[in-house]
């Protein structure tokens, strides 16, 4: 973080040498130390500490002890308790002799952070391996895409960059809590639960001068697309440089990644977590309703409930003294502004253990997070202005492949089992019922729906239908799918052939789970004998979707099969994202601080269209100070571009170079390279 600041973790000693103009005599000279933080500091609020010089440290309190006298100098050990308020401190001393008047001298300033290495601190994490990952690592990955096609995107956290620690406290000092009562706000900064809630509210700007402005539309002309950020440092520096004006724009992965930077910088073990098929359940009934018509078009709804393709939040490690025993450890915090908590757009901390056990009565915002990973999806057939029947009741669609970066590795770690018991298990349904009773009983408004779901008559299907991709979907190419149909042998069904009319519809899928108007429709008629199987090819031409998708290139294909003999309907769904070209980054030499390092970046345009207005942005703490931007022009179809860059590494240790190439056609072509930087000779 720099050599110009004294930065300490609470529960830690630091040594101080005082030099006097005459010999120090402990029998006659009385030294009183004063440490203060925040406006109008007082001992009552815990923002001022007064302590005398002692021979031995008295315990987990502010103290000056273990001193050594050498004529005119005094070396003393200052101890900061593990329960101290975090923040910027001033330290001064008052010296008096023989009961005479005292003279006060300023000694200097220091910054105090949480200390996950201290057993006395509420953020104590008893694993050096985990601390290296969740505090010391300044890069990581965000997991995006679809449950069955998860993509990793590199992110530069940069929490140890020169000015980031000051910006983190600037964030706290612009919160509504501080503006309403600065002294009280500072006094509560000893409590990690409080600090996490403040940061969660301040990363978004819905209530305050927060860091990021969200944008889930498609017009980013007034700022930067959320897809085009490589890391947190540029965002935090822009926010600070503009006096706290929100940076445009963020979505969930940007909010969570910036919060990870802030919390790691403040000393709280933090990781970024992605939840695929993440429910946004605003009415607390643990069901999300979606609607289709008989042409298979997904219909818009006026309800605020939705299912995100994926949603990204944070987990912070801490002791929860405000909860009963058993709920310590990882806690969910979500800075994306989805709904208010105690009047502000923030979320958490919610104990992951409480979520798994369905203890939704425990603070904070546990019911909301429980629904994000456990809600049921109910899909309705909608015709003539009203619902006709239930097409599907999915109890295991929401909360899939919950992911974070693996410790000490670039691989993905699935942590779904931390949030819930196996889908379909007796424990999982038992927890769901337990949570449902706590949430729904006070309202008594869900019995008709639950009765309807309990009948499960809609599960009686004479055929099994499945949509599969026939080849990897690449943007700029025709898309090939296959409809797999299998007749189900069942005594409950007739053994006679049945006729199926299957209507297909393709729509651009938005990140929030809703869709645009259809850009492709198709219908087929099939006759199915008992135990018959068939595979029906489907072609979705590039010309149909070329100008119809969002920057994330997500497609929602749905089909509704009508059984001619019974008039019943069967729903088929397939979501997928179109893959961009892949870039490669090569380093052929040893990286060393201050020594030129050649980087080779290669991109081949494998698409059927040219990439226009290509721009490259390089970022990486320890490798680059800030960002490097380079215009690349147009990359024609089938052409390859290789860029050589010369870098001068700044910091020794493991680091990561992140590269983004964006164009008018594809906003997010990302790659990374892990680089170990050796110290300069003589260091």
* Alpha-carbon separation of residue 431 from 50, 332, 377, 398 (angstroms): 51, 19, 17, 15
Work out the pLDDT band at 4, boundaries 50, 70, 90: confident
pLDDT at 683: 64
CA distance 631 to 389: 54
Pair of tokens at residue 289: 């309703």
Kindly state the percentage of the chain with pLDDT values over 90: 82
SS3 content of the chain, % helix, strand, coil (to 5): 20, 40, 40
Length of the chain in residues, anyone? Answer: 683
The angle subtended at Cα 418 by Cα 417 and Cα 420, nearest 5°, is 60
Mean pLDDT within 280-303: 91
Collect all residues with Cβ–Cβ distance below 8 Å to 659 and sequence separation of at least 6: 230, 583, 585, 601, 616, 617, 618, 670, 671, 672, 673
> How many other CB atoms are there within 10 angstroms of residue 279's CB atom?
28
CB 76 within 8 A of CB 26: no
DSSP code at position 286: S
To the query of whether residue 631 is one of the catalytic residues in this protein, the response is no
pLDDT greater than 70 at residue 323? yes
pLDDT greater than 70 at residue 456? no
Mean pLDDT within 451-466: 65
Q: Which residues are annotated as a binding site for Ca(2+)?
A: 374, 376, 423, 428
pLDDT 10s digits, 90-109: 999 999 987 778 899 999 99
Name the one residue in this structure whose structure tokens are 């956290």. 157
Min mean pLDDT across 69-83, 476-490, 600-614 is at 476-490
State CA 427 to chain mean position distance.
28
Choose, from 168, 185, 196, 252, the residue flagged as catalytic.
Answer: 252
Mean pLDDT within 340-361: 95
pLDDT at 452: 46
To the query of whether residue 168 is one of the catalytic residues in this protein, the response is no
Which of 609, 680, 624 lies closest to 656 in space, CA to CA? 624
Characterize the bridge pairing of strands 287-292 and 376-383.
parallel
* Alpha-carbon separation of residue 286 from 371, 433, 549, 652, 678 (angstroms): 6, 10, 30, 49, 52
Choose, from 186, 277, 280, 311, the residue flagged as catalytic.
Answer: 311
DSSP code at position 256: H
DSSP bridge partners of 25: none
DSSP labels, 166-207: HHHHHHHHTSHHHHH-HHHHHHGGG-HHHHHHHHHHHHB-SS
Strand order in the sheet with 591-592: 591-592, 669-678, 653-662, 611-619, 627-635
Mean pLDDT within 71-89: 96
Buried b (16+ CB within 10 A) or exposed e, 239-276: bbeeebebbbbbbbbbbbbbbbbbbbbbbbbbbbbbbb
Sort 480 into a burial class: Cβ within 10 Å, 0-12 / 13-18 / 19+.
Answer: middle
Kindly state the percentage of the chain with pLDDT values over 70: 96
pLDDT 10s digits, 263-272: 999 999 999 9
Which of 667, 293, 338, 664 lies closest to 507 in space, CA to CA? 293
pLDDT greater than 50 at residue 527? yes
Which of 366, 403, 154 lies closest to 274 in space, CA to CA? 403
Q: How far apart are the first and last CA of the chain?
A: 18
Count the helices and strands in the chain (H runs, E runs). Answer: 13, 36
> How many other CB atoms are there within 10 angstroms of residue 37's CB atom?
23
- Phi/psi at 311 (nearest 5 deg)? -140, 145
pLDDT greater than 60 at residue 195? yes
Mean pLDDT within 645-656: 96
Which of 137, 117, 229, 128 lies closest to 651 in space, CA to CA? 137
pLDDT at 284: 82
Report the chain's mean pLDDT, rounded to a whole number.
Answer: 93
Choose, from 334, 359, 365, 575, the residue flagged as catalytic.
Answer: 334
Mean pLDDT within 160-172: 97
Which of 639, 597, 608 lies closest to 541 in space, CA to CA? 608
Min mean pLDDT across 75-89, 250-264, 432-446 is at 432-446
User: pTM for the full model?
Assistant: 0.95
pLDDT greater than 60 at residue 453? no
DSSP bridge partners of 193: none
pLDDT at 460: 67
pLDDT at 490: 67
CB 458 within 8 A of CB 390: yes
The angle subtended at Cα 635 by Cα 142 and Cα 649, nearest 5°, is 50
pLDDT 10s digits, 136-145: 999 999 999 9
CA distance 476 to 54: 74
Q: Which residues are annotated as a binding site?
A: 374, 376, 423, 428
pLDDT greater than 80 at residue 444? no
State the number of CA atoms in the 13 A half-sphere of 652 facing the CB.
Answer: 7
pLDDT at 52: 94
CA distance 409 to 418: 20
Mean pLDDT within 630-642: 97
Min mean pLDDT across 181-190, 416-425, 434-443, 565-574 is at 434-443
Name the one residue in this structure whose structure tokens are 């593990």. 82
Collect all residues with Cβ–Cβ distance below 8 Å to 179 and sequence separation of at least 6: none
Work out the pLDDT band at 491, boundaries 50, 70, 90: low
To the query of whether residue 196 is one of the catalytic residues in this protein, the response is no
């Amino acid at each position: 973080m720099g050599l110009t600041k004294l930065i300490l973790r609470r529960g830690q000693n630091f040594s101080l040498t005082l030099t006097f103009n005459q010999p120090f005599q402990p029998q006659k000279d009385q030294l009183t130390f004063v440490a203060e933080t925040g406006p109008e500091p007082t001992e009552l609020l815990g923002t001022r500490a007064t302590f005398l010089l002692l021979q031995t440290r008295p315990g987990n309190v502010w103290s000056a002890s273990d001193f050594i006298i050498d004529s005119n100098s005094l070396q003393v050990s200052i101890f900061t308790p593990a329960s101290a308020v975090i923040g910027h401190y001033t330290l001064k001393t008052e010296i008096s002799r023989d009961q005479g008047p005292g003279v006060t001298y300023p000694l200097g300033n220091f910054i105090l952070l949480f200390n996950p290495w201290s057993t006395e601190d509420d953020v104590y994490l008893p694993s050096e391996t985990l601390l290296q990952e969740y505090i010391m690592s300044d890069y990581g990955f965000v997991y995006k895409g679809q449950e069955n096609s998860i993509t990793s995107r590199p992110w530069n956290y940069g929490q140890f960059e020169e000015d980031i620690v000051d910006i983190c406290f600037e964030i706290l000092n612009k919160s509504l809590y501080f503006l309403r009562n600065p002294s009280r706000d500072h006094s509560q900064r000893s409590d990690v639960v409080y600090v996490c809630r403040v940061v969660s509210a301040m990363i978004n700007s819905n209530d305050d001068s927060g860091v990021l402005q969200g944008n889930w539309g498609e017009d980013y002309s007034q700022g930067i697309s959320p897809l085009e950020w490589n890391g947190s440092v540029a965002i935090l520096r822009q926010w600070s440089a503009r006096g706290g004006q929100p940076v445009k724009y963020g979505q969930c992965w940007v909010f969570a990644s910036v919060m990870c930077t802030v919390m790691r910088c403040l000393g709280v073990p933090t990781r970024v977590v992605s939840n695929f098929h993440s429910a946004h359940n605003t009415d607390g009934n643990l069901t999300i309703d979606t609607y289709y018509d008989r042409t298979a078009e997904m219909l818009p709804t006026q309800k605020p409930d939705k299912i995100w393709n994926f949603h990204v939040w944070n987990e912070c490690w801490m002791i929860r003294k405000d909860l009963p025993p058993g709920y310590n450890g990882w806690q969910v915090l979500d800075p994306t502004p989805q709904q208010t908590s105690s009047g502000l757009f923030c979320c958490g901390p919610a104990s992951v253990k409480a979520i798994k056990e369905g203890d939704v009565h425990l603070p904070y915002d546990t019911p909301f997070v429980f629904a994000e990973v456990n809600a049921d999806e109910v899909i309705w057939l909608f015709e003539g202005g009203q619902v006709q029947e239930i097409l599907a009741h999915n109890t295991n669609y929401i909360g899939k492949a919950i992911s974070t970066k693996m410790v000490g590795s670039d691989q993905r770690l699935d942590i779904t089992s931390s949030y819930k018991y196996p889908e379909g298990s007796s424990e999982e349904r038992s927890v769901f019922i337990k949570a449902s009773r706590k949430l729904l009983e006070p309202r008594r408004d869900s019995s008709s729906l639950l009765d309807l779901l309990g009948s499960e008559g809609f599960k009686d299907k004479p055929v099994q239908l499945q949509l599969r991709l026939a080849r990897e979907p690449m943007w700029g190419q025709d898309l090939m799918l296959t409809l797999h149909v299998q007749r189900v042998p069942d005594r409950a069904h007739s053994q006679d052939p049945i006729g199926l009319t299957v209507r297909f519809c393709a729509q651009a899928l938005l990140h929030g789970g809703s869709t645009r108007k259809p850009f492709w429709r198709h219908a087929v008629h099939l006759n199915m004998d008992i135990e018959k199987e068939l595979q029906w090819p489907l072609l979705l031409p590039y010309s149909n979707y070329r100008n119809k998708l969002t920057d994330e290139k997500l497609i929602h294909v749905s089909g509704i099969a009508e059984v001619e003999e019974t008039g019943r309907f069967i729903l088929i769904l397939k979501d997928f994202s179109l893959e961009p070209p892949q870039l490669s980054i090569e380093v052929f030499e040893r990286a060393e601080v201050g020594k030129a390092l050649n980087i080779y970046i290669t991109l081949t345009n494998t698409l059927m269209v040219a990439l226009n207005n290509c721009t490259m942005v390089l970022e990486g703490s320890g490798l680059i100070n800030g960002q490097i931007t380079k215009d690349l022009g147009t990359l024609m179809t089938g052409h390859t571009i290789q860029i050589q860059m010369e870098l001068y590494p700044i910091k020794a240790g493991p680091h990561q170079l992140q590269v983004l190439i964006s164009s008018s056609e594809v906003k997010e072509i990302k790659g990374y390279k892990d680089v170990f930087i050796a110290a300069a000779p003589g260091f």
